[in-house]
Structure 1
Amino acid sequence: MKIHGNIKVIIADDHEIYRDGLRMVLVKQPDIELIAEAADGKELIDHVKAMQPDIVISDVKMPNMDGATATRYLAENHPEVGIIALTMFDEEDLIIDMLEAGAKGYLLKNADKYEIVEAIKSVYNQQPYYCRHTSNKLAQMVAKSKFNPHKLHNKPEFSERELDIITYICNGLTSKEIAEKIFLSVRTVEGLRMKIMEKMDVKNTAGIIIYAIRHHLYKPGRV
């Protein structure tokens, strides 16, 4: 884990209004320092070369050079920089392009300030980040892509009950729906969900789905 200090961040987005909003979030964080802004991929690369940030938050669609092209260059030439893709909710293919190019996580543009900060700190500490608003469809697309950040040294073991819950989660059921199916309280299911996330070292439902598919824990029709 990196030592926490000021996490140096560069943001890249061709929409000035969105950059303004993101800047307002970041400047209020005591351990995050916004060191530059870019309006396209070429400008982003120039800033990274000059300022050596820890984290880059980059839109996927930008003029002159798009996010995936810039990400591919940075991943090859500045692998120490953690890149977070920034996109609209209906741009699943572009998110996959960014992740396969070298991004370590992604945020949808409707993410709140708490999630933005969480994503920055996760990627800064070498952990992938999947937006909380990830659809089941997108999670499965990520899991089947070339993006594979999971490098656990010890593969965790899951109980039969946990495997059942993992399958229900992958099938899109809520904790309440799962509780009704396996005759447990919602609170118990939530507790088991938290334990599963801890074992997988993920932070939300998208992480569970992606991990489960990657590690062949999700078997359609099992439950």
Structure 2
Amino acid sequence: MTAPIRLVIADDHEIFRDGLALMLSRQKHMILAGQASDGTELLSLVRETTPNVDVVLADIKMPNMDGIEATKVLLKEFPDLRIIALSMFSEENLIVEMLEAGAKGYLLKNADKQEILDAIASVMDNREYYCRDTSATLAGMIVKSNFNPFRKREVVEFSDREMEIIKLICRQFTAQEMGESLFLSRRTVEGYRTRILEKMNVKNTAGVVIYALKNKLISEKELL
């Protein structure tokens, strides 16, 4: 049997933290290893519990020590730790800083249960996770930042048809719209989309956009 995923939550908003903790503690394959209300508590908690912590979900803005600084310290001591940033809509610049500090993904605090579970599964599989509600502005900021998880990966080749699909995905076309544009069935388009996600090793449209921009498969002008 696969060992359960051990999680730690750090957030200074108690109601939000407790609600997230309750949801995660109900998952059969997950164990909540602890909670912290700020970055300093988070460091102490992980140091006391590691190596029995797999994933940390950390608010970016916390008192005493914020999520960015806590991420830097934690990953210096525990480089295999997976950290997911928790953020508000208005914190796009801080999300970029958190990724540059070493976080493997980020979620907006209004993310639903399935997206939270998807994010945890992705980082456990050593894939970055980009919130599905990522704005074009944030995607552009990430592309221009020093954050580049694709740098060490093998170069992936895409067929002409896959490139057409990638460009349409980046322009937010639905599967139906892509099919009509390329004279393909919806099922065929969805098959291409699945293969593209697998090749890029990303989870959703936001991941495709960031991968495509970072690897210069598409320019920002082509997103307009």
- Bigger mean CA offset, 114-123 vs 153-162: 153-162
Alignment of 1:199 onto 2:199: yes
- Bigger mean CA offset, 10-19 vs 136-145: 136-145
Spell out, residue by residue over 1:46-80, the C-alpha distance to the aligned partner (whole angstroms, 9 max, x if none): 10111111111000111111111111111212212
Aligned residues: 221
Counterpart of 1:189? 189
- Percent identity reads 52
Whether the aligned pair in 1 keeps the contact of 2:107 and 2:130 (CA below 8 Å) is yes
Q: Report deviation, 1:143.
A: 2.4
Whether the aligned pair in 1 keeps the contact of 2:7 and 2:32 (CA below 8 Å) is yes
- Alignment map for 1:1-223 (pairs within 5 Å): 4-52=2-50, 53-150=53-150, 153-219=153-219, 220-221=221-222
Instruction: For 1:75, give the aligned amino acid.
Output: L
- Bigger mean CA offset, 56-65 vs 146-155: 146-155
TM-score of the superposition, structure 1-length normalised? 0.91
Whether the aligned pair in 1 keeps the contact of 2:58 and 2:86 (CA below 8 Å) is yes
Residues 153 and 69 of structure 1: CA distance in aligned 2, closer, same or farther (over 3 Å)? closer
Whether the aligned pair in 2 keeps the contact of 1:136 and 1:170 (CA below 8 Å) is no
- Bigger mean CA offset, 123-132 vs 79-88: 123-132
- For residues 54 and 158 of structure 1, the distance between their equivalents in structure 2, rounded to whole angstroms, comes to 33
- For residues 166 and 127 of structure 1, the distance between their equivalents in structure 2, rounded to whole angstroms, comes to 19
SS of the residue aligned with 2:71? helix
SS of the residue aligned with 2:147? coil
Spell out, residue by residue over 1:68-121, the C-alpha distance to the aligned partner (whole angstroms, 9 max, x if none): 111111121221211000011221111101100110111111111122122112
TM-score of the superposition, structure 2-length normalised? 0.91
Unaligned runs of 5+ in 1: none
SS of the residue aligned with 1:131? coil
- For residues 148 and 207 of structure 2, the distance between their equivalents in structure 1, rounded to whole angstroms, comes to 12
Whether the aligned pair in 1 keeps the contact of 2:139 and 2:206 (CA below 8 Å) is yes
Residues 68 and 199 of structure 1: CA distance in aligned 2, closer, same or farther (over 3 Å)? same
Spell out, residue by residue over 1:24-45, the C-alpha distance to the aligned partner (whole angstroms, 9 max, x if none): 1111111111011000011101
Q: Report deviation, 1:187.
A: 3.1
Instruction: For 2:28, give the aligned amino acid.
Output: P
Residues 151 and 4 of structure 1: CA distance in aligned 2, closer, same or farther (over 3 Å)? farther
Whether the aligned pair in 1 keeps the contact of 2:83 and 2:104 (CA below 8 Å) is yes
SS of the residue aligned with 1:9? strand
- For residues 71 and 112 of structure 1, the distance between their equivalents in structure 2, rounded to whole angstroms, comes to 24
Instruction: For 2:3, give the aligned amino acid.
Output: G
Unaligned runs of 5+ in 2: none
Spell out, residue by residue over 1:96-153, the C-alpha distance to the aligned partner (whole angstroms, 9 max, x if none): 0110011011111111112212211221222111112222222232222211222665
SS of the residue aligned with 1:216? coil
- For residues 159 and 199 of structure 1, the distance between their equivalents in structure 2, rounded to whole angstroms, comes to 12
- Bigger mean CA offset, 73-82 vs 199-208: 73-82
Instruction: For 2:110, give the aligned amino acid.
Output: N
Spell out, residue by residue over 1:135-176, the C-alpha distance to the aligned partner (whole angstroms, 9 max, x if none): 222223222221122266542221112112212222333333
SS of the residue aligned with 2:90? coil
